[in-house]
Amino acid sequence: MKIIIAFFAATVFAAAAASDSKAQVGATASRDDSAALAPSASEATDSQGEAGSESLADVSSGPIAFGVIASNGQKQSGTTNWSSAYNATYKRYEIAIMGQNYYYLTFSTLVTPTGDSRFCRTDSVGGKLLIYCYDQSGAVQPARVAFTTFKAS
């Protein structure tokens, strides 16, 4: 492994030295590669403005809802447009967002377990956001969580 790393480092060093030897030592003019780095019309991505604005997401609206939920399902903080409860039967958090019929494929939701060693996933049923959390063995467990959800379509 050490030999491979040493060989790689030597190769990179040699390539850098060869590149520098082509430059004039002590020259004050700088090299401008901006034209070479600019994408051609066929390479441009949507975010670089080549596509019509109808294909770009409207990120100016921000999240639909966000907040922090205690492990018992009680809302701790966040926007005022949602409520939560822990469903002990199904071992999940159920979040109702006012004015939204939540369906997991039309929203983008980020969930972060806060302070617990957990893994969480989202789902939906009956217009509600569902959050399931698991411990490291894969067992469903309650957890304190923070979430942020955006409307995707």
β partners of residue 145? 69, 113
β partners of residue 39? none
CB distance 77 to 128 below 8 Å:
no
Q: Where are the domains of the chain?
A: 63-151
Q: How many CA atoms lie within 13 A of 128 on its CB side?
A: 16
Q: How confident is the model at residue 9 (pLDDT cuts 50, 70, 90)?
A: very low
Q: What is the mean pLDDT of residues 92-110?
A: 96
Please report the DSSP string for 74-105 in residue order.
Answer: -EEEE-TTEEEEEETTTTEEEEEETT----TT
Compute CA distances 123 → 22, 29, 91, 103, 111, whole Å: 58, 58, 13, 8, 11
Q: Which has more pLDDT, 134 or 9? A: 134
β partners of residue 36? none
- In the predicted model, is pLDDT for residue 67 greater than 50? yes
Q: pTM of this prediction?
A: 0.61
Q: How confident is the model at residue 66 (pLDDT cuts 50, 70, 90)?
A: very high
- Helical segments of the chain, H only: 2-22, 34-37
The token duo for 101 is 């019929």
Q: What is the mean pLDDT of residues 87-102?
A: 96
